[in-house]
Amino acid sequence: MLLLQVPAVDTSAASLSATSAAAQPQSLQLFDLVAKGGWVMIPIAFLLFSALYLIFERFFVIRSQTRADANFIDNIRDMVAQGNIKSAESFAKNQRTAMGRVFEKAIGRIGSPMRDIESTIETVGQIELSRLERNMGYLGIIAGIAPMLGFIGTISGIIRIFYDISLSDNISVGIIAGGLYEKMITSGSGLIVGVIAYTGYHLLNMMIERFTLSLEMNAFEFIEVLQKPTAETARMR
């Protein structure tokens, strides 16, 4: 009798093990979630790669074009005060930066009325700022479109779920929840892409604003030098 009872115990343990394994929740893989999002995930993915490209491309351009020698304006000021206009112009040109191009044009106008020099700085500065901001508007568009695309995907999925329910006349919670979580993936993805684009746009704007402040400060010091009635400035062209 003892020998006959042993297999029964083992069978019960195996059954409990199988039931426990079946009860364990399945883990969600990222790729599976993206695949279940539907066709809306394709334009959202395109917007994600576009946003990342624009952010990194603009970041490296802005960083390279706004870098400046700490003694840049001091060197320009000394050269201009000593009457070395050509040297100052060549020095600004060799910087190969937005700041250098602004002051290269401004130095080239020395000898003209002060109003013309100030107008040159303002005009060239606006041109350089426009170059730095090129294509950044697309980041703002992506930040607005991506979440809306996600919501469109979710709404279209919900419509499909209730349409299927109306045909099958089955309103079980499992069917509704199973389809709904898949369609919410598009909303989450769209919001993530929107946040990335929005954050990148404003971080790049902060870099440009710092450059703008530096340009205004340097321009003020440059104009101040030109307005000083020194013997050296009297020899300027």
User: Domain coordinates of the chain in residue numbers?
Assistant: 35-234
Of 136-145, 152-161, 178-187, 202-211, which gets the smallest average pLDDT?
178-187
Categorize the per-residue pLDDT at 54 as very low, low, confident or very high, splitting at 50, 70 and 90.
very high
Contact (CB, 8 A) for 193 and 44: yes
DSSP 230: -
The structure tokens 């604003």 sit at: 209
Spatial distance between the Cα atoms of 228 and 236, rounded to a whole number of angstroms? 12
Residue 28 scores a pLDDT above 70: no
Check residues 138 and 185 and name the one with the higher pLDDT.
Answer: 138
Which has the closest alpha carbon to 225: 50, 74, 93?
74
Contact (CB, 8 A) for 106 and 122: no
Spatial distance between the Cα atoms of 86 and 208, rounded to a whole number of angstroms? 29
Which has the closest alpha carbon to 185: 50, 47, 32?
32
pLDDT for position 21: 40
Contact (CB, 8 A) for 79 and 91: yes
Helix axes 173-226, 41-66, angle to 10 degrees: 20
The structure tokens 């020998």 sit at: 3
pLDDT for position 75: 86
Categorize the per-residue pLDDT at 68 as very low, low, confident or very high, splitting at 50, 70 and 90.
confident
Report the Cα 5 to chain-centroid distance in Å.
Answer: 70
What tokens does 160 get?
């499909």
**86-to-38, 74, 93, 105, 229 alpha-carbon distances in Å:** 64, 16, 11, 12, 20
pLDDT for position 210: 92
Residue 107 scores a pLDDT above 60: yes
User: Taking all residues of the chain, what is their mean pLDDT, rounded to a whole number?
Assistant: 78
- The proportion of the chain whose per-residue pLDDT surpasses 70, expressed as a percent, equals 70
